[in-house]
Structure 1
Amino acid sequence: MGHPAEKPRRATYADLEAVPPTKVAELIRGVLHVFPRPAPRHARAASSLGIELGGPFDHGKDGPGGWWILDEPELHFPDPASPGDVEAVVPDIAGWRRERMPELPETAYFALAPDWICEVLSPSTEQVDRREKMPLYAREGVQHAWLLDPIQRTLEVFSLAPGRDWARAAVHRDAARVRVAPFDAVELDLRVLWAT
């Protein structure tokens, strides 16, 4: 008679902390995901988008201000399957309206869900970004999500619909000049996001 299959051990935050700093680690539903650091096109797209949004929305230069725009913030959400544990994810870029978060926290992570996230897709992260992280962001009430693909040169725009489901608002491509919620006060030239 065989032994019953052992239930896999849920990863913990301690497992995440043990990952070498040369990797990106995230903890979702008790599963530890470890990825290589972003490739140059990925890093270029994320950096360029942060620059484009940071001036008008974070610093208020030629724009409305009122946001914190941050690269790779660590987000902690309660793990509903394991009370007392957290799910920890690191979006490529995230933004909080200052009216919701007047000051940055003193912790090394954010417990308050952002108002907007952007994930820059790569072959090693796309499935986790779409299938694991997007539902988590919806569950936590993130209102806007962008998926940026520097290889396909696309920007997918999502807004949170009633019932905490994502509604895809638009897909923009190549050299489009667009106004995209929640940053539609300023036109975004997508050409600056793609490495050339």
Structure 2
Amino acid sequence: MDKKRKADEVKEEGLTYEDYANLPDDGQRYELVNGTLEMLAPAPSSEHQVISNNLSAVINQSCRHGYFILVAPIDLILSNHEVRQPDLVMIHMERRHIITRRGIEGAPDLVVEILSPSTAMNDKKSKWETYAHFGVKEYWIVDPVHRTIEQHVLHGEKSKYDLYEVYGKEEDTITSPYISCLSIPVKEVFLHLDLLELD
């Protein structure tokens, strides 16, 4: 790959993690999707960051002794041709071997993606399919606009998610069929968003 090539022109196929890891630092963020490099959107919005911080804080309160809770940017290396950049992941301490110097090498117990206008279709289709295929047991999609959390879970040997629950009321509490320490009031996920004056 020509390192002088502009980032938005990089569309080559058949790339591997090594190609991805050796990309020049051009200030952009990428994912490797089935061997093809895809540029991520610009830096996350203020809303996105508030939600990410809220989730990280409340999950750490109840789960940090049993799980590693990691937030973006972090490489989730699912195969030599598939590297994603999830917003938040949880990995049980007993599975800590998948956390390496390179990033996370294997399926986390939970992946959370926070939607933005530029990533919504990717998060709801491409990533949904990828995370299910590689065995991520639970996948949450957080929608800042509609203030909802979709919870998708794998059942049995299927490599396809079932919609387990949709949370959207302030009095709702998010729990997990797989992660017993999770008990998150929806109002905590979207805490302080109403204080932002965003145009």
TM range (shorter): 0.7 to 0.9
Residue 9 of structure 1 corresponds to 12
**Which amino acid is 2:48 matched to?**
H
Report if aligned partners of 1:114, 1:142 keep a CA contact under 8 Å in 2. yes
Greater share of helix residues, 1 or 2?
2
State the match for 1:24 in structure 2.
29
Q: What are the Cα deviations for residues 142-190 of structure 1, in whole angstroms up to 9, with x where unaligned?
A: 1111001111100000111231110101100041331420445453121
Residues 41, 67 of structure 1: alpha-carbon distance in 2 compared, 3 angstrom cutoff: same
Distance 1:175 1:100 in 2: 33
Q: Hey, what's the Cα distance between the residues in 2 that align with 1:47 and 1:166?
A: 26
Going from structure 1 to structure 2, the CA distance change for 1:110 and 1:103 (only over 3 Å counts) comes to closer
Unpaired runs of 5+ residues, structure 2, are 1-10, 195-199
| Residues 131 and 103 of structure 1, relative CA distance in 2, 3 Å threshold | closer
Q: Equivalents in 2 of 1:104, 1:185: separation in Å?
A: 21
Task: From 89, 97, 106, give the equivalent of 1:94.
Answer: 89
Structure 2 equivalent of residue 172 of structure 1 = 167
How many pairs were matched up?
175
Alignment of 1:16-55 (within 5 A): 17-18=23-24, 20-21=26-27, 23-34=28-39, 35-55=41-61
Asked if 2 retains the 8 angstrom alpha-carbon contact of 1:69 and 1:95, the reply is yes
Question: CA distance change for structure 1 residues 103 and 115 in 2, over 3 Å: closer, same or farther?
Answer: closer
RMSD of aligned Cα (Å): 2.1
Kindly indicate whether the alpha-carbon contact (under 8 Å) linking 2:99 and 2:105 is maintained by their aligned counterparts in 1: no
Counting aligned pairs with the same residue, the percent is 23
Seen in structure 2, the aligned counterparts of structure 1 residues 172 and 101 have a Cα distance that, compared at 3 Å, is: same
For 2:3, the equivalent position in structure 1 comes to none
- Residues 1:179 and 1:128: Cα distance change in structure 2 (over 3 Å): closer
Moved more, 37-46 or 23-32: 23-32
Deviation at 1:10, TM superposition (A): 0.4
Scaled by the length of structure 1, what TM-score is found? 0.80
Instruction: Return the TM-score normalized by structure 2.
Output: 0.79
SS where residue 111 of structure 2 aligns? strand
TM superposition shift of 1:90: 0.8
Alignment of structure 1 residues 154-165 onto 2, 5 Å? 154-162=148-156, 163-165=158-160
Distance 2:50 2:42 in 1: 16
State which drifts further: 161-170 or 27-36.
27-36
Give the direction of change, closer, same or farther, for the CA distance of 1:52–1:30 in structure 2 (3 Å limit). same
Asked if structure 2 preserves the Cα contact closer than 8 Å seen for 1:77 and 1:87, the reply is yes
Structure 1 residue 138 and structure 2 residue 139: aligned? no
Separation in 2 of the partners of 1:143 and 1:186?
Answer: 14
Partners of 1:102 and 1:9 in 2: CA distance: 32
> What amino acid is aligned across from residue 161 of structure 1 in structure 2?
H
Distance 1:183 1:68 in 2: 12
